[in-house]
Every structure is written in structure tokens, then in C-alpha cells.
Structure 1
């Protein structure tokens, strides 16, 4: 496969071993030629049209690469091409929230009712949020704290509009179990904006995008993105135009580039911008995960003896234990987007993959393993019964 564009910020380690703080030896990183060849094989095997990848070592971005096409016209995907961040937005949002915690503007375990000037169900319905009025007959909303949305344990479905009657409701008591919910994050956004008077888009711009020089990243569409923009490909190979999202959504409205998001990932894994306590909370097990897979989000819990002991919710990330110690990761997905961020705090290494072709997800386990070695990332839990490309 022809590599249409590649940009190298630095050289990978090509010999020797790195050592984590726990004195675990970790594999050497591949050189860029080897990475290019492996990505080419992955794209050929999966049929993916476009993919970008970044590697972080010891908290520094050492390389960003882009391969394939950004649109049906065959224009090259570049490392500064604007791509959809999808649910990796949730991790950036969690990072922003933890800054507010550090500044004592927000407490993770204080009920959200303390930040609102009237009961949540009494707020008028607005298109940019979910429909809180549906909760009028269920007082469990008063038990929700900011920790619950960040650990996906509010009790909601992924989104209220996915319910059979499109009405938001509780399926379990807040904090009692994990079930992925975008509306949970939207609720926390509502608390920040309507309860605390913050502008989330402006806060994320100031606290993250400006701070780390992410010049082509925004929580809403910018017209200047159009000059170098990635469309996407679905599992069936159909082209899907990039969605120009005009509303800030904590659950997933971020547009970004591999260059930009790699800067955030590097800062995150080294804990920059957060107190040691907040970084530890974000990246440590907060709540056991008790389901066979990530989706469907409201599936039944497994019997205790069948639950994974290496898997838990962090704050805006999933935390796992593996051969190289503790790691954390976050995925992002829609019909034409596949993203993943995998980080190992012990060695401060990460792999970030943004794909504008959802078929690339089938190669994610092999590509992460090729760069970082065996990590224990729970891709089988993330993607369920999907058949992955094994590199052969």
C-alpha cells in the first residue's frame, strides 16, 4: 500500500528496554519504517482507507503518522487533517472536570443538586441536553454526584432517545454499577453550565486546546476546518461526509487532528495540569465493570465468578491491569470513525489511533500490540464478538 503522507516528530527507540517505575521491563518501540509497514499490512487486510497514529514515550510525542485518504477524491490524510474525536471527547472532558476539582470549584462526591438552583426535572427541556423533565417521578436524581457520570454509573441508557419510548429513565441506583452513558456526561455538562455558569466549550478551549497548542481542535465546527477535513468510510465501504457539529457536547463533539490529540495524550499520561491526587483518581480503578462487553450498555451483569478482575472504570477512561502493569484507555466510534487511546502510566507510553474508516478497528489490537507489546487492553470487552485481524 502506498503511504500517501507521513510526518515524523522524532525517532522511536530501536534497541534496549525501557523500565517502568515498578521495575518491569517493557518492549522496545519499533522504528518508523517497521510501523509504516505494519500499518500498510493492517489497512490492506481490513480495507481501511485512512488511518493516523501517534506514539508517546516517556510522556513525549515521538512520532505522528498519517496514511491513506481523507476523502473519496483520494486527497491524502495528513497529520494536521481534521478528524472526528468521537468519544475520546469524554476523556478530555474528564480532564477538564478534574481541573475544576483541583480548584475546589467542584467536588466529585457532592450531589449535583447542590450546584443547581432548582430541582433538575423542573428545568425546561433544551435540544442541547437530554430531557430532565422525564425524571420528575424518580427522586434518584438527587443521589447523583459528579463521580457517577465520569464512571458511567448514573443509571441511564447511553442516550434517552434510544429508549423504546424515547424517555430518559433510571435503570439502576446511581453508583451501583457500570453502564456506558453519554447522557450521564451531558448531565454533568448541564451542571457545569446551568448550575455553575460555565461555558464548557470555552473552558475546554482555555484549559486544554490552547494550553497544549491544539490549534486545529474545537468542541464545535469551525469553517477553517473545511480546507483539510476527513470524511469517513462505513463498514460497508460507503463514504460518509464529516458532520459539522454546531453544539458543544461533552459526550462527543470534538474535532481534532492526530498532531493535536497526541499533545493532549502526552500531557495526560505525564499528569500535566492535574494535581497528583486528581491524576491518580482519573487513572485508577473507581468502579468494577461487571458485564461481558461494553455494549449493549444495559446488558445484564455477569455472575460474580465470571467477572473480570483486571477491568474497572476510571474517570473518563477504562482502567486495566496487564503484563506491563496498570493501563488506561478510551475508545471512540461511530458509523465511519474508529478511535482508540491506550496509555501505560508506568512507562508513560501511549498509542493513539484515529481512523476515518471504521473498518480499521479490526486491526487496533494488533497495531497497539505491535507498538507497545502485550498490554492487556480489553479489546474483546470493548468490541464484543468482533473478529480481529491477527497480523498474519
Structure 2
């Protein structure tokens, strides 16, 4: 009898483990049988699955995390493909992935929290926060020689209007690495838009000294802990090792894992599809920010007329995106649509492609995270088919579909 009871317990435990694995690898708590699109129509889970799997196969995307938000809550969440293709290990919703420039949206949210608390002033020049010469804060000797830098404010940093390059050692016209370059201004601060990671880094460096706290501490206090983003960090943590994804380039070659050793608000964040969609849902529900502060964050700060987002300092302009009034807010891109204002953010690296867009008035959003250099090639179709988003400026973002030749 005792042996029989032990066998029954063993079967129950195994069954429970299988059930837990199914939940972990497929759905989020509270998932429904369908999701609502912007036009009010619905898609079933099987329709979502078939769409995602077809596109991943067509574009050779190794792994993809997907979350759809309805009524400001995560309604659908699932991981597809592999976190380790060679070992045939599937991706799951708790797998840590490289957030790339998703980092900037989180950094901007933290800054809005700091501004709401009166700890920083979005319009106070960074120069006024300094106690020492700028060059003592980093590689800013050349920048310090240009008096225009003293006009740079946190608002300019978060709206990409500083005049600083995206990465100081990258040629702003070609995007090619050039070790002869220095950290300098390319235009009058506040006069135009040009995507700039260096602007975010400068703001982070000065804030850390001024506030006496490092970015990871600020992030945990202002967001990660209250939002329960337990598997998100600007720094690599040892517990991530057992469930983290390998990135793959456009040819399917493994690029390895990203293990961030330095917290960088512009791009070191590691997160999961579960955690980042929780962040978007958190923002949409106005948690942590007043309605006034949220409105300021998603208000257009600068109109964007550049032909493409990258390279950052191209002279070519266009009226292509006039119909959506393509602009930048604070840490987020902003567009106008028939469904109200929408805000978006991407994240891009050789082996990682991420994108999220939210429609606050409809309480609908989508988050996509890919550990594949081919991920962006299915974004246009995914957005259109899953939530009915035909407004994302995919040409400006260079989200060239897999069935169209790249320019």
C-alpha cells in the first residue's frame, strides 16, 4: 500500500511539472481564447499561431516572443522557436533576451519618475548639474570645447535633439566604425531630430553623479521592483544563465548571449517578453506616473522628417510620413492614427530585433522580441495581421519585409 501511494504521488508530481512547463512555455496568466484588434475584430489563438509560425519559417527567424495587450492587460503571450537552435532548446516567456534600445524607453520612464518627484528638471541644462568640468565625467574633452553643449537639457537627451551622434565612434553618414572620430556635436542642440545613444549616456552619467545612485539602483527603485519585473536588469545576473537566449545573425549564425557588464540606459538592458510586456501594460495603466506626466512623455517634442532612422545624420528628408505626423516624444516615437495617438519603440542589434507599439485610446498594444537578425523582416505583416496596425512607419524604421529586396 505504501509503495502504491508513493507511485501515485510520483505520477501527480510529474503531471504537475508538465502542466507548469506548458504554462511557462506558452501562455501568460489570464490568457483568453482570442485577442481584439484595433478595428474591433478578433483573432483566435490558432490564427495567431499559424500566422507567427508561417512568417518565422518564411523569413528564417530562430526565436520570437510575442505579447498582445487588450484593455491595458496582457491578454496573449507566447514564445516561439528556439533560445538555442543547436541544442534544440525552445524559447519560453521567461527566457532572458537582449532588450537593446528597449533600454531607452525604460530609462525615459525612470526619468519621468524623477522629474515628477522634483529630483530633476527636464529643462534645466545639464551643465547646471555639474560640480566638476565635463571632461572629468568621461570622454568629453572635444565636446567641452564646444560652448553649445551647455544648452543640452534632459528633454533634449530623451527626444534625440542634442546634436550628439548615436555612438561617437560610428560614422554618422555611413554607420561604419571609425576610430578617428571624437564625441562632438553635429548640430545646434534642440534644432532637429537625430537618434542619439550618446545623448542618453551623457544624461545618465550626470544624473548618477548628481543623485548619488547608479542606474541599476534607480531602475530597481523606480520600476523593476514596483512593476515586478523580476527578470529584467541593466546588468547581467548569474541566475540568467540557465534561461537566456542565444542571438542569431541574418545568416543564422550564432552570435552568443549578451552579458551586459555595465549598466547603460541607452542599450544594456536584459529582459523577457513577460517582463517587458508587463512594463508596457504598467505604463498604459498610468501606474507610477500621473496623467499629466504620461501626457508629457508621449507628447510630440520634435517632428521627424528624415528619410530613415539610421544612419542618423542623413541630409535627405521626406514628406512620406506626414500623414502620421511622425514625431518623437520623450524616449518614445509618436504617431497619429485614426485610433488616436500611438507610441512606439524598437530595439536593434546584429542578432536581436525588438518592437513595441501602443494605442492608448484603444487600450491595445503589441510587443515583439526576436533573437534573430531577420526578425524585423516580419514585423510589418505581424503588426497588420495581429492587431491591424498599418501605421507603423516601417520604411523609416527599415523594417523591409522578407519578400521585398532591401534597399
2:175 aligned with 1:155, yes or no?
no
Q: What residue in structure 2 maps to residue 60 of structure 1? A: 73
SS in 2 for 1:328: strand
Cα distance in 1 between the residues matched to 2:278 and 2:302: 28
Q: What residue in structure 1 maps to residue 30 of structure 2? A: 10
2:294 aligned with 1:294, yes or no?
no
* Cα pair 2:248 2:255 within 8 Å, conserved: yes
* Cα pair 2:379 2:401 within 8 Å, conserved: no
User: Would you tell me which structure has more helix in proportion to its own residues?
Assistant: 2
2:338 aligned with 1:323, yes or no?
yes
Runs of 4+ in 1 over 6 A off after TM superposition: none
Which residue of 82, 96, 108 maps to 1:94? 108
Q: What residue in structure 2 maps to residue 136 of structure 1? A: 144
Give the 5 Å matches for 1:88-237. Answer: 88-120=102-134, 122-123=135-136, 125=138, 131-163=139-171, 164=178, 165-237=180-252
Cα distance in 2 between the residues matched to 1:389 and 1:186: 37
Larger radius of gyration: 2
Q: What residue in structure 2 maps to residue 22 of structure 1? A: none
* Cα pair 1:12 1:30 within 8 Å, conserved: no
Provide the aligned C-alpha RMSD in A. 2.0
Is there any run of 5+ residues in structure 1 with no aligned partner, and where? 19-24, 126-130
Cα distance in 2 between the residues matched to 1:117 and 1:66: 48
| Change in CA separation of 1:388 and 1:284 when aligned onto 2, cut-off 3 Å | farther
Number of residue-to-residue matches in the alignment: 373
Is there any run of 5+ residues in structure 2 with no aligned partner, and where? 1-21, 172-177
Q: What residue in structure 1 maps to residue 92 of structure 2? A: 78
* Cα pair 1:323 1:376 within 8 Å, conserved: no
**Structure 1 residue 74: deviation in Å?**
1.3
Which residue of 349, 355, 360 maps to 1:340? 355
* Cα pair 2:247 2:371 within 8 Å, conserved: yes
2:41 aligned with 1:33, yes or no?
no
SS in 1 for 2:192: coil
1:159-215 per-residue CA deviation (whole Å, 9 max, x = no partner) reads 112144220111101110000010110011012112332221111012111111111
2:379 aligned with 1:377, yes or no?
no
Which residue of 262, 281, 296 maps to 1:247? 262
1:12-38 per-residue CA deviation (whole Å, 9 max, x = no partner) reads 4749x78xxxxxx73334221111111
Cα distance in 1 between the residues matched to 2:332 and 2:316: 20
Cα distance in 1 between the residues matched to 2:320 and 2:388: 26
**Structure 1 residue 64: deviation in Å?**
1.0
* Cα pair 1:11 1:31 within 8 Å, conserved: no
**Structure 1 residue 307: deviation in Å?**
6.2
TM-score (norm 1): 0.90
* Cα pair 2:59 2:402 within 8 Å, conserved: no
Q: What residue in structure 2 maps to residue 46 of structure 1? A: 59
* Cα pair 1:27 1:373 within 8 Å, conserved: no
Which residue of 258, 281, 286 maps to 1:266? 281
SS in 2 for 1:342: strand
TM-score (norm 2): 0.87
SS in 1 for 2:89: coil
Cα distance in 1 between the residues matched to 2:95 and 2:297: 29
1:325-356 per-residue CA deviation (whole Å, 9 max, x = no partner) reads 21010000101000001100111211000101
| Change in CA separation of 1:176 and 1:365 when aligned onto 2, cut-off 3 Å | same
Cα distance in 2 between the residues matched to 1:323 and 1:388: 27
Cα distance in 2 between the residues matched to 1:28 and 1:307: 26
